Structure 1
Amino acid sequence: MSTNPKNTLNFSGGPGALPDVVLNQVQQAIINVPEVGLSILGISHRSAWFENVVRETENNIRTLLGLPADYHVLFLQGGATQQFSMVPMTMLRGKKHPAEYFDTGYWSRKVITEAMREGPVRVIWSGEKAGYRCLPTEEELDFSPHAPYIHYVSNETVEGLQFDRIPGRDDVPRVCDMSSDFLSRPCDAGKFSLIYAHAQKNIGPAGVTIVLIRDEVVQNAPRNLPAFLDYRRQVETHSNLNTPPVFAIYVVLLVTRWLLRDIGGLENMAQINRQKSQLLYRMIDGSDDFYRNWGDTAFRSDMNVAFTLPTKALETAFLDQAAEAGFSGLGGHRALGGVRASIYNGLTLEAVETLTQFMDDFRTQQRRQ
């Protein structure tokens, strides 16, 4: 049972809802971590206890993903935004051939802007002309074998678009921003040279960013980078170069335990997430165009369901009534507007059922007026 009923109806795009069992454990830990006798907010990052937290969290992620042994798991700061720069500083700086980036939505555009500061970039595909309502098919892509790496965003949170495949060439390093669908489904992590994901969607609170990086990338990194922005130094210090976000990493540990022990792994998590998204898309598709999905059907996200109503006035009324009914976070991103239901790991199937019932009632109410 939730300690706060409103938490169960939190459809925010981020930070997102956390599982009740995790929230209850966090509540206890803020007062007293049982095995230490101190508040989590006052435990040293140099303590043996925290070293064990980092080790277990890393091992849990390895287990969930079946991560190959030649990868490092890092817990960094700066959000995904810092990775927009760290990746090209490490893999593009000084290179002759351009890195290849996908322009698939709001966040990928931000990534490209930062990469261009470090070296040549080729936008291999852009969804701008289509209003960012679709993703590329394999036939539309022409990869270069000489690119230092290929970069894409696996799930665009603003537009509600998600890749259902791993694009690219196996002989060119892949880099992926998985911030909004990391650990929401199985992933063949061995096909990537680097994966990064800030935590505040599926895996914890804001403050920590997970980076999975192949050892080859670490060893080939430039040796003149600032220590904080150098993957090599972060690996050497086991994510403890400077004071790390102890609290946020501890919550990630609790979420990975929940995924392993309560959910039973990422296959089960993916099945639950598909059930949630299918409920919402059935409601949208069966509404006689009262609710209108933003993205094309083939590219719909299981994480972020973005949609509009026939008029801005109806959208405003919908959001106002939703807030009165106890729903939170349904307003669309400021760049797009409309409505967005983010249904990350911590949001329950029951919460989505409650939302679809509200959507059905609202539509019926408006049709009668």
Structure 2
Amino acid sequence: MMARLFNFNPGPAALPLEALEKLQANIVEYKDAGMSILEMSHRSPEYSEIHAQTKERLRSIFGIPDNFEILFLGGGATLQFGMIPMNFLDGDKTADYIITGSWSKKAYNDAKLFGKANVAASSAEENFSRIPTQDELNLSENAVYVHLTSNNTIAGTQWKTFPDTGSVPIIADMSSDILSKRIDFSKFGVIYAGAQKNLGPAGVTLVIMRKDVLDKAKDGLPAYLSYKTHAPKDSLYNTPPVFGIYVMYLVLEWIEGQGGLAAVEKVNEAKGQLLYGAMDEDPEFFRGTVEKESRSLMNVTIRLPSEELEKTFIAQAREAGLHGLKGHRSVGGIRVSMYNASPLAGIDKLVDFMKDFRKQN
């Protein structure tokens, strides 16, 4: 057996070992189909069953109401940055954007190409070290939607309570914390997420869209870039990312086996308490980069007293079997990405390593 590292990569990220083992068992021949899942038609009975059951599991585990469509698209969350305003904005309409990091800023920049994009709040001047509060929001009177990024992988911040936007639907990029906790769907018009953090491999993008929001999408768009193309075709307008959807199916099966989303949420909270607790024992040595009220349970960002010490920490951690701890190239430092499939045992080992490293340095 391969000696598996504890994988703290920010994405593509850790996948459940059970899901990988089932994938391995079916990769050459899927069940008794006589071919791999990678080879079979997306119109075949075998894949049709996977497609339908993945949607059913998503709806059941996440609690997705019946008035929401579930779509499997390509292009990552980055394509959604442009598709959303392309479908819902024009020169006379306004959308509000709350900018809390690099990805929400990119989404805002794309929105400006299609209509009026209002910065409802931004923490850029504070190096994205916190999530704006409700009373800081400068929401437009007639916005068609409010866009936010629920968890910021680079900055290490996360929305704990989603803002009150009245009757205006929230459109949320949940790429890095989807299915990490339960949410109230009544606040949202659209939720989208690249799969490569909590759902599966890179290559498939999940879009969950309220049907009345879908009805308001513009006509006359290029076929693939229109949500009205994909919904009635059950995401089969073109060949869907079959492999990624199958891995998502296996990951959802694993979540069910853990006891569902409530159980996963409990483990994520325990990981956060353990790691942040270790940091708070010596905040001068392990300095968190965000305010405590905005701390993410998915991506924890840390600075040490010097960059040289950070390089030593990352190198020695890798030797100890703790992989992927280098901070994003734009900000440096250390980043611990602990998505659903990152086990509590990995955080235990990391915390022990941190304590030993602090004593030695």
Per the TM alignment, residue 288 of structure 1 is displaced from its structure 2 partner at its CA by 4.6
Question: Is the partner of 1:41 in helix, strand or coil?
Answer: coil
The 2-side partners of 1:87 and 1:339 are apart by 33
Structure 2 unaligned runs (5+)? none
**Distance in 2 separating the partners of 1:231 and 1:198:** 16
Inter-partner Cα distance in structure 1 for 2:350 and 2:202? 25
Q: Which residue of 2 is the match for residue 103 of structure 1?
A: 99
| Residue aligning to 1:145 | 141
**Aligned partners of 2:158 and 2:297 also within 8 Å:** yes
1:15-60 Cα deviation digits (max 9, x unpaired): 1101110010111121221142321211111112111111111111
Determine whether 1:341 maps to 2:339: no
Three-state SS of the structure 2 residue aligned to 1:117 is: coil
2:39 aligned with 1:42? yes
Code of the residue aligned with 2:273 in structure 1: it is Q
Query: Which deviates more, 143-152 or 290-299?
Result: 143-152
Q: 1:201-235 CA deviation, whole Å, 9 max, x = no partner?
A: 01100000000001112222111111111111101
Q: Does 1:196 align with 2:192?
A: yes
Percent identical residues: 43
Give structure 1 regions of 4+ aligned residues with deviation exceeding 3 angstroms: none
| Corresponding residue number in structure 1 for 2:16 | 19
Alignment partners' CA distance in 2, 1:50 and 1:168:
40
Tell me if structure 1 keeps the 8 A contact 2:94–2:140.
Answer: no
- Quote how far apart the aligned CAs of 1:306 are: 0.6
Aligned to 2:298: 303
Match of 2:259 among 247, 259, 264: 264
Q: Contact conserved, 1:68 with 1:190, CA < 8 A, in 2? A: no
Q: 1:282 aligns to what SS in structure 2? A: helix
* TM-score where L is the length of structure 1: 0.95
Aligned mates of 1:140, 1:304 — CA distance in 2: 24
Q: Conserved in 2, the CA contact under 8 Å of 1:186 and 1:267? A: yes
Aligned match of 1:238: 234
Q: How many residues align?
A: 361
CA contact (8 A) 1:331 1:338 kept: yes
Partners of 1:306 and 1:62 in 2: CA distance: 32
Q: In 2, distance between residues paired with 1:4 and 1:10?
A: 14
Which stretches in structure 1 are left out of the alignment for 5+ residues? none
Residue 270 of structure 2 aligns with which residue?
275
The CA distance in 2 between the partners of 1:345 and 1:288, in whole Å, is 26
- CA apart distance, 1:189: 1.9
Q: Is the 8 A contact 1:153 1:177 kept in 2?
A: yes
Amino acid at match of 2:85: P
Shift of residue 176, structure 1, vs aligned partner: 0.3
Q: Which residue of 1 aligns with 2:323?
A: 328
Note the alpha carbon deviations across 1:133-174, whole angstroms, 9 max, x for none: 011111211323310110000000001100011113231121
